[in-house]
Amino acid sequence: MITVTIPDISPTLGRGVVDETLEDALRGGGTPAHLAAWMRIVSKRNTAKNAIPPHERRFRLQHYWRVLHRLYPQPLHRKKRALTAAFASFLDVNEDTVRNDLDRIARNLGSQWAQRLVVLD
């Protein structure tokens, strides 16, 4: 037997009967007033929370892509296909997803986003 403890404030991801049962078990009782806003965010009924993983993946992709190109510009020159395959494996998605993410990043940040120096204040 395995006993698992999951705090009732933890978001549950996924679909299916097990997730619905877990959601009911975690949040079946009353919600304390100070956690009401958070519970609405992590609720299974909040479909917007499913949009978080793609944003997280794109953030990681753009960060590591930029760092690699900053540190190794010559070895990575004209190696986009190999690097895309490596990132697909690293992020556990297919290569089309990485290409689409890179296109989306370029639309949002400009075509030279990977070469631009970013200074944080």
- Looking at residue 43, its pLDDT comes to 72
86 pLDDT higher than 90: yes
The stretch 46-56 carries a mean pLDDT of: 75
Mean pLDDT of the chain: 80
Domain ranges of the chain: 1-45, 52-109
Instruction: Provide the whole-model pTM.
Output: 0.58
Token pair 């993983």 is found at: 53
Residues contacting 93, CB < 8 A, separation 6+: 57
CA dihedral (89, 90, 93, 94) in degrees, to 10, reads -40
Percentage of the chain lying above the pLDDT 90 cut = 38
Residue 8 pLDDT: 59
Kindly tell me if the per-residue pLDDT of 80 is higher than 90: yes
pLDDT confidence band for 107 (50 / 70 / 90): very high
Ranges assigned E (strand) in 32-118: none
